[in-house]
Amino acid sequence: MLQGRIALVTGASRGIGRGIAQELGMAGATVIVTGRSRDDTRTDGLPGTVENAAKLVTDAGGLGVPVFCDHAEDGDVEELARYVRETFARVDILVNNVWGGYEQYDHEMWQLPFWEQPIWRWDKMLETGVRAHYTTSRAIVPLMLEAESPLIINVSAGDNGKYLGDIQYDVAKNAVDRLGFALSKSLKKHGVTALTIHPGFTRTERVIDTAPKDALTDSHSPRFVGRAIVALANDPEVQKRSGGVYKVGQLGLDYDFQDVDGSQPKPFEIPDGYGE
């Protein structure tokens, strides 16, 4: 379905990014996967590397291309853009998925009042979230202007403007949503579609490692998010969604795709009063 398309998925060493990359590979795309984990250097000791993710893409039927990139480092992002320009000349699909806001995760610290939490948490949330999405878009968009149907998808989180339970997290994720909207307005005249998706509770490696098993009942796989990306990329009228924010569960209903186990995950909802 996506043969001949060039996709770039950031933060794809593991988790949602790897699931997205794998599904794009199954659709036949060439997928550039970026991340900081390679060989024996892995974020927080979690499994998965850019090389592993690229191999999954190739094994799935596409072509996986691993590129080490710390998206919080402007030099790395500039080098990524240079490599992509010289190797592929263009990008058709950009998935801004990179997110380091959960690094050094500590449940007890997360529950503290914000004035008792270390300021580095704010930096992690904003720098490896919205800023990384912005700098990557800034570097890659010039390579998308000649694509036939260029598409930018930001991966964020939320539920119709409800409070997300933590100030830093809430601000960072809402900023990513707004970035998608702003990109859609700025790039409309260039024919670039930009939108944002909200996965539900996803069984990433970190979630499986830290969440109680009974809490995973209403979760979905990372590949379910990837199927949403493929559906959007194949939609000839996707430009009508530009600037919007869409729950992955609802996209599953809209485009009639299921999770890898055949289930139909519901659109994610946050309980009223959460975090208050």
With CA atoms as reference, report the closest residue to 241 among 201, 188, 200.
Answer: 188
CA distance 269 to 271: 6
Give the ranges where 105-247 is alpha helix by DSSP (H): 107-110, 120-125, 132-140, 167-187, 205-210, 222-234
> What is the DSSP-derived secondary structure letter of residue 232?
H
Which residue has tokens 């539900």? 200
Q: Give the count of beta carbons closer than 10 Å to the beta carbon of residue 107.
A: 8
**Sign of the four-CA dihedral 224, 134, 62, 69:** negative
| Annotated active-site residue in 105, 169, 246, 255 | 169
CA distance 152 to 210: 31
CA distance 69 to 83: 11
To which H or E segment does residue 74 belong? helix 74-87
> What is the DSSP-derived secondary structure letter of residue 129?
I
- Which two structure tokens, joined as six digits, stand for 189? 């005249």
Which residue has tokens 């959960």? 102
247 phi, psi to nearest 5 deg: -75, 135
In the residue annotation, 255 being an active-site residue is answered as no
124 phi, psi to nearest 5 deg: -60, -45
Query: What positions carry a catalytic annotation?
Result: 169
